[in-house]
Amino acid sequence: MSRRRLYAILGQAGIRLEQWVISERLEAACRLLASPHNAGLPVSAVAARCGFTSPSHFTRRFRETYGVTPREWRRVRGQVRPCGAQDGPLR
């Protein structure tokens, strides 16, 4: 797919490319944080694996999207909605 076509499709959906990329990265982080296999992986390492160069930026974007920090989400992940549900805070 050409870059122009991608921008056109996202524009028709009312989404900027940056928003889409960040949401995909946050979804990947959400899955990593939920995985028991990655329970010992520091949040900063999850951020890096998902393409965030700054752990604080990652935490800020995660909290804006899911209503809690990545660390809080990891702690309560079994008691809350699944990744991707962005209709309000987890609390």
Q: Measure the CA dihedral 63/67/68/74, to 10°.
A: -100
pLDDT tens sequence for the chain (91 residues): 888 898 889 889 998 888 989 999 999 999 999 988 888 899 999 999 999 999 999 999 999 999 999 999 898 874 545 566 554 444 3
Residue 50 and residue 26 in contact, taking contact as beta carbons nearer than 8 Å: yes
In a domain, 6, yes or no: no
In a domain, 55, yes or no: yes
Give the pLDDT of residue 91: 37
Q: What is the DSSP string of the chain?
A: --HHHHHHHHHHTT--HHHHHHHHHHHHHHHHHH-GGGTTS-HHHHHHHTT-S-HHHHHHHHHHHHSS-HHHHHHHGGGSPPTT--SS---
In a domain, 5, yes or no: no
- pTM for this structure? 0.76
Cα–Cα distance measured from residue 7 to residue 16, given in angstroms and rounded to the nearest whole number: 8
Number of domains comprising the chain = 1
Give the pLDDT of residue 85: 53
In a domain, 84, yes or no: yes
Give the pLDDT of residue 82: 54
**Structural domain harbouring 32:** 22-91
In a domain, 4, yes or no: no
